[in-house]
Amino acid sequence: MQTGYRMVTPVARARIMVVDDDRALLGFTCKYLSRLGYPVVPHRSAEEAWKQFECSAGDYSLAVVDLSMTGISGEQLSRMMLSVSPWIRLILTSGYPFDTRRLLTAAPDRVAFLHKPFTPAMLAEMVDRLIRACPKQNVD
């Protein structure tokens, strides 16, 4: 079956956290990344994601974070994640304009922005690029 996107080969054990308060987008993103072979951990709030990440930051290679969430914002969560993990890579997503310069400057080569709506191919290529460009110690 032709799907219209390039299949990527996941880096072994590259675990991904997905944080989005939109249930449909969270489900789509997790389902798609799982189909590509990545182990995925979903969270519907930044607070929930932070609790898990704070205890197990070393378990994750990448996080896909929605910037527009209630409570702790996606930008705040991203800064917290970057401050405790020298290996985490972030894909920030939003359907609204966002000035990424502050986060890109704070963590060059570790942060990328993906404007919603994005296609599965766009997501796959960005995940592949970030993980392969900057592998962390437990990615085989």
How many whole angstroms from its chain centre is CA 38?
12
Q: What is the mean pLDDT of the chain?
A: 86
Query: What's the pTM?
Result: 0.86
Pick the CATH number of 16-131 from 1.10.10.10, 3.40.50.300, 3.40.50.2300, 3.30.365.10: 3.40.50.2300
Whether the per-residue pLDDT at 5 is higher than 70: the answer is: no
Q: What's the pLDDT score for residue 106?
A: 73
Domain boundaries, the chain: 16-131
What does the alpha-carbon distance between residue 27 and residue 1 come to, in Å, rounded to a whole number?
Answer: 22
Residues 123, 2 contacting (CB under 8 angstroms): no
CA neighbours closer than 13 Å in the CB half-sphere of residue 53: 33
Give the pLDDT confidence of 78-92 residue by residue, as tens digits.
999 999 998 899 999
pLDDT digits (tens, 9 = 90+) for 31-76: 999 999 999 999 999 999 999 999 999 999 999 999 999 999 999 9
